[in-house]
Structure 1
């Protein structure tokens, strides 16, 4: 069983699983009952350098750009409803194949189309049972999990967590930071040209 984290907590994945080379980051959520309009959340990943700047615009991985240039980060595809148990979307990260300048992989989740989310009044305050988990690709064991419980009543996007390099180790940090500027605001903050 993996480590359950609280906001701001971190764990060494390398110590949890010596020889770790690849992980699957699973993200999940359920939409609260709303007025019946469609509610679509999208997971993404941004590969950054140690200073938190995107390695390149192509290192912003999401439903329209499913693979990083070197193939180290791959998005499984878009789940339009969040229905069902388990992971709603998954992003595979081959740690050994990341570019040398990669220091972090950040995992934002956004309500599809921040503009439409704003106009529909949809926010993360209407999301429940949200989580991010890190699974060892080699044996499918869960290494870390963060269940988000914060009230994000005005935010249309959130950074759930991040993988980061610390010397020779890979660690995972639970973040849970909301953004009212949507996914484009998060992307701009990490230096992606959107």
Structure 2
């Protein structure tokens, strides 16, 4: 199924689509785009109680290349260790990120995040929201999503079948960061895609504040 994501307005209730996954079935979110713009795919492991909002309370819940352990000006930042193949993960493989792609020139998928619901830590009555955030790298200068061509997120099941193909409307052109929907996993393990489209003008810290 293909859909075009529109910019959500305050007060909008996002429509949800069932992903028709078995309970605890692994799936992958793939980011594709064309051109020389450096995009990064990020995901947050937000936790909430049924009837409330999901959020993050720890750096351990942030799957981002910006959260990989490294040194900047002699100080260590980040909490995630990079694997030998360039991938990195949180919660022992609950979410695994591909090696970083610096542009959209690869043939096919540029970056991906694999989700293993069975490894996600949650208590009875809790649900999970995994916002999928695509952001233009700060070193790309003054570029916005108006400079990005054919940005898409695909949701693929464990057998390699594409369940959803999500593209962006032109409304996201002014932004440097875009929430390309969220994966919702309820307390019973049912997975859905929430059609929430948010735009960010600030850096990745503004995204963290939005979900904090």
User: TM > 0.5 between the two?
Assistant: yes
- Is 1:89 aligned to residue 111 of structure 2? yes
SS for the counterpart of 1:103 is: strand
Which residue number in structure 2 is paired with residue 53 of structure 1? 55
- Note if contact 1:49-1:102 (Cα within 8 Å) is conserved in structure 2: yes
Rounded Cα–Cα distance in structure 1 between residues aligned with 2:187 and 2:3: 22
- Note if contact 1:155-1:182 (Cα within 8 Å) is conserved in structure 2: no
- Deviation at residue 147 of structure 1 after TM alignment: 1.2
- Is 1:106 aligned to residue 135 of structure 2? no
Rounded Cα–Cα distance in structure 1 between residues aligned with 2:149 and 2:174: 14
Rounded Cα–Cα distance in structure 1 between residues aligned with 2:54 and 2:199: 17
Rounded Cα–Cα distance in structure 2 between residues aligned with 1:170 and 1:30: 29
- Is 1:132 aligned to residue 136 of structure 2? no
1:181 to 198, 202, 205: 202
- Is 1:11 aligned to residue 17 of structure 2? yes
Rounded Cα–Cα distance in structure 2 between residues aligned with 1:5 and 1:154: 21
Which residue number in structure 1 is paired with residue 179 of structure 2? 159
| Cα-to-partner distance string for 1:87-122 (whole Å, 9 max, x where unaligned) | 210000001111115511111111112xx44xx211
- Structure 1 segments of 4 or more deviating over 4 A? none
Q: Compared with structure 1, are the counterparts of its residues 143 and 90 closer, same or farther at alpha carbon in structure 2 (3 Å cutoff)?
A: same
The normalised TM-score by structure 2 is 0.75
Q: Compared with structure 1, are the counterparts of its residues 83 and 154 closer, same or farther at alpha carbon in structure 2 (3 Å cutoff)?
A: same
Q: What is the total number of aligned residue pairs between the two structures? A: 176
Q: Compared with structure 1, are the counterparts of its residues 98 and 55 closer, same or farther at alpha carbon in structure 2 (3 Å cutoff)?
A: farther
Give ranges in structure 2 of 5+ residues lacking alignment: 6-13, 69-79, 81-87
| Superposition RMSD in Å | 1.9
- Deviation at residue 68 of structure 1 after TM alignment: 0.8
SS for the counterpart of 1:187 is: helix
The normalised TM-score by structure 1 is 0.82
- Deviation at residue 163 of structure 1 after TM alignment: 0.6
- Is 1:67 aligned to residue 69 of structure 2? no
1:39 to 22, 37, 52: 37
| Cα-to-partner distance string for 1:127-182 (whole Å, 9 max, x where unaligned) | 11011111112x11111121112332321111112110234211012333210013
